[in-house]
Amino acid sequence: WRPEPRDSGIMSETKQGALKIAVLGAGSYGTAMAYVATHNGHSVMVYARSKEVVDGINKNHINPKRFTDVKLPDSITASTDIKEVLKDAACVIHAVPAQHTPDFVGKFKDAFVKGIPVVSTAKGIHVKTHRLMSEAIPAALGDRSEEIPLVFLSGPSFAKEMVKGHPMAVVVAAHELKMAQHVQKILSSIRFRCYASNDVIGVEVGGALKNPLAIGAGMARGLGFGQSTIAGLVTRGCREMRQLAIALGGKPETLAGLSGVGDLMLTCFSSLSRNNRCGMALAKGKTVEEAFEEIGEVVEGVPTAKEVVRLAEIHKLELPLFRAVDLILSGKVKPDKALRLIMGRDLGTEEFH
């Protein structure tokens, strides 16, 4: 199956010449980012550890492990040599899962090119170091951290829909807005619109925290509850995300945008979400390990839930939804009991701070 022809033209204000884009990671999201990066006529080279994946992309234009029914553009190639992938690239997209990101970056830190932006799509909190990616990646880069500009991409974007050419909007954040705008111009197209932000913490918190909430939404669905239940979870969950973002130094208004409520709605209302499917499996009596095996891909919400509770303790935040999800994931309560704990709390007023 080949997606419908893509419109190679992009908005005049974002137009860039053809460039080489490097993508690190050939999983679902890495493959999808490689696909959308070709919309502007860019060439893309993907780094993959598997020779089978590299050969599949180079010879057949198919990733044999992800989206096997999608014919990738001829402008996408792959290599197991990271230096070859990074050579002459104008932009690097890092699509390695959050829990593996620090080790990966540390291993290859000398291969990154000074001044070339690295765009992280990893969403989550690194469990071993208790760090967001905006802290974990610079630490892994060590003495090279000042040389490598970092940008963080987040927002409602399922990989499966990206490779079908569905139009969507995301946000790219950097501490210096100019760097975010630079990446915005490289990646934006008529089907993949990027908005720029300088609120790295707010964007990261939204991208990371929506995953445990999506597990909660999946549990609600697995217990047989409908859209009203999930809508309440999304609304109150967004408030909890906002509270933690403020505590960590982010802007509350960021959580009302694409990386917050946008990504939260997508993952909580759709069974395409791995985290959502994990929650459904747990509600039906499966263990976390059995849910992982059924899904076959990384479920970032599981390790993130425990980290959110740790941060809630540090900042003296209640965050009842996150705590309930963590109690279920740690095997301390069953999903139906957790629901009773949430709904049976003391009554209060609706507040937005």
Report pLDDT for 350: 84
| Residue spans of alpha helices (H) in 88-195 | 101-108, 133-141, 159-162, 177-187
Q: Scan for tokens 């935040």, then name that residue.
A: 317
- The distance of Cα 240 from the centroid of its chain, to the nearest Å, equals 19
Report pLDDT for 6: 45
Looking at the DSSP bridge assignments, the partners of residue 119 are 93, 151
Could you say which residues of the chain have pLDDT below 70?
1-16, 352-353
Report pLDDT for 4: 45
Report pLDDT for 16: 62
Report pLDDT for 353: 62
Report pLDDT for 278: 96
Q: Per residue in 156-181, is it b (16+ CB within 10 Å) or e — as a string?
A: bbbbebbbbbeebebbbbbeeeebbb
For residue 256, give both structure tokens.
């009302």
Alpha-carbon span 6 to 267, nearest angstrom: 26
| Residue spans of alpha helices (H) in 120-199 | 133-141, 159-162, 177-187
Catalytic residue, candidates 51, 71, 185, 210: 210
In three-state secondary structure terms, 343 is helix
- pLDDT tens for residues 90-145? 999 999 999 999 999 999 999 999 999 999 999 999 999 999 999 999 999 999 99
- Supply the pTM of this predicted model: 0.91
Report pLDDT for 8: 40
Report pLDDT for 13: 39
Report pLDDT for 341: 87
Count CB neighbours of 251 within 10 A.
17
> By the 8 A CB rule, do 317 and 247 touch?
yes
CA distances from 123 to 51, 81, 103, 217, 316 (A): 26, 25, 15, 18, 24
Report pLDDT for 40: 87
Looking at the DSSP bridge assignments, the partners of residue 152 are 120, 173
| Beta strands, E only, the chain | 20-24, 43-47, 76-79, 91-94, 118-120, 125-126, 131-132, 150-154, 168-173, 192-197
Q: 339: closest CA among 289, 283, 286, 300?
A: 283
Strand 76-79 and strand 91-94: the pairing is unpaired
Q: Is 87 a catalytic residue?
A: no
- pLDDT tens for residues 239-251? 999 999 999 999 9
Strand 91-94 and strand 118-120: the pairing is parallel
**Farthest CA pair distance, the chain:** 62
Alpha-carbon span 61 to 40, nearest angstrom: 19
